Amino acid sequence: MDAHLANMEMRSHWNGVYKAKKSTEASWYQAHPEKSLSLIKVSGISAEAAIIDIGGGASTLADHLLELKYRNLWVLDISGEALIKATSRIGRNSEAVRWIEADITKAVLPHNHFYLWHDRAVFHFLIAPEDR
């Protein structure tokens, strides 16, 4: 299967998951991502430091980081549906986040830009050696 077709199937799969289920119904859902927030806090990075959440989709991490006054947040997910759910949930404050709909294995991101890279589950789903 060609890489473009595989990417489209992956995007279609995750869009289908987020259309069919509420975010709270996903097995990986956390209303308050305690462990991630704790690790970010102890990292000591400033509120201006660039943080990217890979596969962050409908996660609540961005909500909590905004509440904690982090101001350089990026969220990348292959599913536009997941990003729509997140921006709808966050509301007007979602404008403070850079939302990227992309496959992480193909995404072009700024070089040496991020101080913290968060990924709670997405790399678990990359089972092809070339994707890892």
Give the phi and the psi of residue 10 in degrees, each rounded to 5: -65, -45
Rounded alpha-carbon distances, angstroms, from residue 36 to 17, 39, 127? 23, 5, 23
- Residue holding tokens 């991502």? 33
Per-residue pLDDT of the chain in tens (132 residues, 90 and over written 9): 555 556 678 778 776 777 777 766 665 667 889 999 999 999 999 999 999 999 998 889 999 999 999 999 999 999 999 999 999 999 999 999 999 999 998 999 999 999 999 997 777 777 777 776
Own/partner contacts of 3-7, CB < 8 Å, gap of 24 or more, are: 7/103, 7/106
pTM for the structure as a whole = 0.84
> In the block, which residue shows the tokens 């193909």?
106
Q: Which amino acid makes up residue 53?
A: D
